[in-house]
Amino acid sequence: MSDLEAFRGETRAWLEENCPPTMRTPMTSEDETVWGGRREKYTNPEAKLWLDRMGGKGWTAPNWPKEYGGGGLSKEEAKVLGQELGRIGARPALASFGLWMLGPVLLEYATEEQKQRFLPQIVRGEIRWCQGYSEPGAGSDLAGLQTRAVLDGDEWVINGQKVWTSFADMADCIFCLVRTDTSTKHEGISFLLIDMDQSGVTTKPIKLISGSSPFCETFLDDAKTPKDNLIGRENGGWEIAKKLLMHERTNISSGGFGGGGRMTPIEAVAKEYLGEVDGRIGDAVLRDKIVAHKMRERAFGLTVKRSQAEAKAGEVSPASSIIKYIAAEMNKSRLEMLFEVMGLQTLGWEGDYFSDFGLGTTRGMLRSKANSIEGGTSEINLNVVAKRVLGLRDHQ
C-alpha cells in the first residue's frame, strides 16, 4: 500500500469517527454556513464540534504548515482529504476570508512573529476577517484609495471610509489597504491589520437588490492599530494587495460565489416546469440553451482541474483572472436560465403564492449579478489577462 493510500485509510477512519451526522447533510440555506469568529452563534452545536475538530487537526487549512496550525499536508494528501470529505458529503467546517485570502499572503509576506500571532486563529476559526479594499472613489481603480494611516508612536492612526465591505458588521478584524504616502499612487499603499472592536471603527449595512444586506460601509475615524500590524514594508502594500486578489479570484471561482442554487440540477427543473416530450425537456429552444450551458460548465470544471494540476500547492498567478472571468459570467447565465425556466414562479418577490424555490431563485439571480463585480469586475479581469498573461500594452 502506498503512503497515499495509507493516508486515505487513516483519513477515512478519522472522518468516520469525527464528522457529526448533521454535518454530512447538504446545507438547506446559506445561513447554515459557519464563518467562525467571536460572534458566531452556532445554532447547531454539532457545527461547533465539527469546526473544533477540523480546526484542531489543521484540516481547515490542509496545506498550511503545521507550525502555524495548518494541516501540513502535501498537495496530493490535501486532494485525498478533499475526496474523502466529498465522499461522505461533509459540509465545509469553516468559511473564511482568513483562509481564502488573508492567510495565503501572510504565509508569503508576514514576519515569523506575525504568522504565529495570526495564522493559528484563522485555522481554528477564532477570528473572522473582512476585506477593506474598496472605497467610494476607488473601486476598479483600487490604487486610487485615500484612507490615510499615520504612524503615531507605537500606533497607526487610520482615517477614511471603506465601502462594499462584505460582512463587516459580523467580522472581528479587517485587513485594510491604507495610504501611507500621498505623493505617489501605487507605491504609497500599505497593508494593515485592524481590530474592529474599537470606537474608531463603525459599520453600516447596505441593502442589495436581492433584499439582503451582506455588506457595509465601514468608517474609520481615528481607528488605531499596533505598529507591528503592518504586513510587509511600509508603502509596499500594493504587491500584497494584488497577490491577495489572485487568491480571492481563484477561490471565488472554485465555489465561493454568491447566488446560491449551485446544486440545483437545471435539467430536472426544466423537465418539471416545461414538461417532457419523449423523455426530453419539452421546449427545444431552452433545451439547447441548457445543454450548451451544461457543456460549458463541464468544460470549465475540467479547466479548473487542469489549472490546479499545473499549479504548485497554494500557488496563484494572473491566470486566476481567466477562471474568475469565466466562472462569473457562467454563474450569471446559469441563474438567468433557471429564472427563465421556472416561468411565473420566479416573478414574485414574497408571499405564499410563490414557492420558496422560486423566490430563492429570483433573489439568487439578482445576487449573482455581483459575481462579475466582486473580486474585480469582468472588465478588469480581462484587462489583467490581456496585459499580464498575453503581454498586450497600454496606450503609450
Ligand X SMILES: Cc1cc2nc3c(=O)[nH]c(=O)nc-3n(C[C@H](O)[C@H](O)[C@H](O)COP(=O)(O)OP(=O)(O)OC[C@H]3O[C@@H](n4cnc5c(N)ncnc54)[C@H](O)[C@@H]3O)c2cc1C
Q: What's the count of helices (H) and strands (E) in the chain, helices before strands? A: 12, 10
State the amino acid at position 266 in one-letter form. I
Q: Which residues are paired to 166 by β-bridges?
A: 215
Q: Which of 92, 348, 377, 385 binds ligand X (CB under 6 A)?
A: 377
- Give min distance, CB of 43 to another protein, in A: 38
Which spans of this chain sit near another protein (rule: CB under 8 A)?
A: 267, 270, 279-281, 287-288, 290-292, 294-296, 298-300, 302-303, 305-306, 309-310, 322, 325-326, 379, 382-383, 385-387, 389-396
Question: Residue 51's closest CA among 32, 77, 79, 76?
Answer: 32
Neighbours of 114 (CB within 10 A): 17
x-or-dash string of contact with ligand X, 341-370, rule CB under 6 A: -----------------------------x
Cβ nearer to another protein, comparing 3 with 288: 288
175 is a contact residue toward ligand X (CB under 6 A): no
**Could you say which DSSP state residue 180 is in?**
S
Residue closer to another protein (CB basis): 231 or 274: 274
Active site residue 32: no
Q: Which residue has the cell 425537456?
A: 281
Please identify which of the residues 77, 84, 248, 374 carries the catalytic annotation. Answer: 248
Count of other CB atoms within 10 angstroms of residue 170: 17
145-174 binders of ligand X (CB under 6 A): 164-166
Please give the backbone phi and psi of residue 58, each rounded to the nearest 5 degrees, phi first. 80, 10
Site for ligand X in 191-230 (CB under 6 A): 215
335 binds, among ligand X, another protein, none (CB under 5 to 8 A by kind): none
Q: CB of 72: closest distance to another protein in angstroms?
A: 24
Which of ligand X, another protein, none does residue 133 bind to, with CB < 5 to 8 Å depending on kind? ligand X
Cβ distance 206 to 213 under 8 Å? yes
d(CA 8, CA 137): 50
Helix axes 284-310, 266-274, angle to 10 degrees: 170
Contact residues for ligand X (CB under 6 A)?
130-134, 139-140, 164-166, 215, 370, 373-374, 376-377, 379-380, 383
